[in-house]
Protein backbone atom coordinates (compact mmCIF):
# COMPACT_ATOMS: atom_id res chain seq x y z
CA UNK A 1 0.00 0.00 0.00
CA UNK A 2 1.35 3.41 -0.87
CA UNK A 3 0.57 5.56 2.14
CA UNK A 4 2.37 8.70 0.94
CA UNK A 5 3.04 9.38 4.58
CA UNK A 6 4.63 12.62 5.54
CA UNK A 7 5.33 13.97 8.98
CA UNK A 8 4.97 17.61 9.96
CA UNK A 9 6.60 18.76 13.12
CA UNK A 10 5.92 22.26 14.36
CA UNK A 11 8.48 23.28 16.91
CA UNK A 12 6.94 24.53 20.13
CA UNK A 13 8.93 26.40 22.74
CA UNK A 14 7.96 27.00 26.36
CA UNK A 15 9.60 29.96 28.02
CA UNK A 16 9.10 30.52 31.73
CA UNK A 17 10.93 33.61 33.01
CA UNK A 18 11.13 33.93 36.77
CA UNK A 19 12.25 37.55 37.18
CA UNK A 20 10.60 40.89 36.66
CA UNK A 21 10.40 41.92 33.01
CA UNK A 22 10.92 45.63 32.52
CA UNK A 23 12.41 48.11 30.09
CA UNK A 24 15.91 47.13 31.22
CA UNK A 25 15.80 43.41 30.52
CA UNK A 26 12.97 43.26 27.95
CA UNK A 27 15.54 43.59 25.11
CA UNK A 28 17.25 40.44 26.40
CA UNK A 29 13.96 38.53 26.30
CA UNK A 30 13.20 39.91 22.84
CA UNK A 31 16.59 38.77 21.54
CA UNK A 32 16.11 35.28 22.99
CA UNK A 33 12.67 34.98 21.37
CA UNK A 34 13.96 36.32 18.05
CA UNK A 35 16.66 33.66 18.17
CA UNK A 36 14.01 30.97 18.67
CA UNK A 37 11.94 32.26 15.73
CA UNK A 38 15.00 32.39 13.52
CA UNK A 39 15.83 28.86 14.67
CA UNK A 40 12.49 27.60 13.39
CA UNK A 41 10.20 27.72 16.43
CA UNK A 42 6.66 28.68 15.48
CA UNK A 43 4.57 28.01 18.55
CA UNK A 44 5.34 29.65 21.85
CA UNK A 45 4.07 29.25 25.37
CA UNK A 46 5.08 32.23 27.49
CA UNK A 47 4.63 31.01 31.01
CA UNK A 48 4.27 34.11 33.19
CA UNK A 49 3.46 32.12 36.34
CA UNK A 50 6.56 33.26 38.20
CA UNK A 51 6.95 36.71 36.68
CA UNK A 52 6.50 39.13 39.58
CA UNK A 53 6.31 42.29 37.48
CA UNK A 54 5.68 43.05 33.80
CA UNK A 55 5.83 46.55 32.34
CA UNK A 56 4.84 47.92 28.94
CA UNK A 57 8.28 47.16 27.48
CA UNK A 58 7.79 43.51 28.44
CA UNK A 59 4.28 43.57 27.01
CA UNK A 60 5.69 45.01 23.79
CA UNK A 61 7.98 41.97 23.54
CA UNK A 62 4.96 39.68 23.85
CA UNK A 63 3.05 41.52 21.11
CA UNK A 64 6.10 41.52 18.85
CA UNK A 65 6.47 37.78 19.33
CA UNK A 66 2.79 37.25 18.55
CA UNK A 67 3.04 39.18 15.31
CA UNK A 68 6.23 37.44 14.23
CA UNK A 69 4.94 33.98 15.14
CA UNK A 70 1.65 34.51 13.32
CA UNK A 71 3.50 35.86 10.27
CA UNK A 72 5.25 32.48 10.17
CA UNK A 73 2.03 30.52 10.61
CA UNK A 74 2.54 30.01 14.31
CA UNK A 75 0.98 31.41 17.47
CA UNK A 76 1.62 32.33 21.10
CA UNK A 77 -0.15 31.20 24.26
CA UNK A 78 0.26 32.99 27.57
CA UNK A 79 0.07 31.41 31.00
CA UNK A 80 -1.49 33.73 33.56
CA UNK A 81 0.91 35.20 36.13
CA UNK A 82 0.31 34.22 39.74
CA UNK A 83 0.56 37.85 40.83
CA UNK A 84 -3.02 39.13 40.94
CA UNK A 85 -2.03 42.71 40.11
CA UNK A 86 -0.26 41.49 36.97
CA UNK A 87 -3.36 39.50 36.00
CA UNK A 88 -5.42 42.67 36.29
CA UNK A 89 -3.01 44.55 34.02
CA UNK A 90 -3.37 41.81 31.39
CA UNK A 91 -7.15 42.30 31.55
CA UNK A 92 -6.84 46.11 31.56
CA UNK A 93 -4.81 46.06 28.36
CA UNK A 94 -7.11 43.38 26.90
CA UNK A 95 -4.16 41.09 26.30
CA UNK A 96 -6.40 38.25 27.44
CA UNK A 97 -8.46 38.80 24.29
CA UNK A 98 -5.50 39.07 21.95
CA UNK A 99 -3.65 36.06 23.32
CA UNK A 100 -5.09 32.68 24.17
CA UNK A 101 -4.61 32.39 27.90
CA UNK A 102 -4.06 29.28 30.00
CA UNK A 103 -3.71 28.57 33.70
CA UNK A 104 -0.72 26.27 33.24
CA UNK A 105 1.93 25.61 30.62
CA UNK A 106 0.62 22.05 30.27
CA UNK A 107 -2.87 23.35 29.49
CA UNK A 108 -1.42 25.82 27.00
CA UNK A 109 0.42 23.02 25.19
CA UNK A 110 -2.73 20.91 24.93
CA UNK A 111 -4.49 23.90 23.41
CA UNK A 112 -2.15 24.08 20.39
Partner 1 sequence: MERHPDTLRLDLPATNKYLNVLGACLDAFIERINGVAEPRITAYNIQLAVNEIFANIVAHAYGDAPDGRVDVVVMLATDPRRLLIELSDTGSAFDPETVAEPDFEDVQIHGYGLFLARSLLDDVTYVRCPDGNTWRLIKYL
Q: Using CB under 8 A, list all residues that contact partner 1.
A: 20, 22-24, 53, 55-57, 59-60, 63-64, 66-67, 83-86, 88-89, 92-95, 97-98
The residue among 86 and 109 lying less far from partner 1, judged by its C-beta, is 86
Minimal distance in Å, beta carbon 105 to partner 1?
Answer: 22
Rounded alpha-carbon distances, angstroms, from residue 20 to 15, 31, 74, 76: 14, 16, 26, 20
Choice between 56 and 106, CB closer to partner 1: 56
Q: Which residue, 35, 86, 19, is CA-closest to 78?
A: 86
Amino acid sequence: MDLNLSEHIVRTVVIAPSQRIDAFNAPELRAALDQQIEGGARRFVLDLTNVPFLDSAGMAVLVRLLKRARDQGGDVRLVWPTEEAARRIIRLTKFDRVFTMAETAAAALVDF
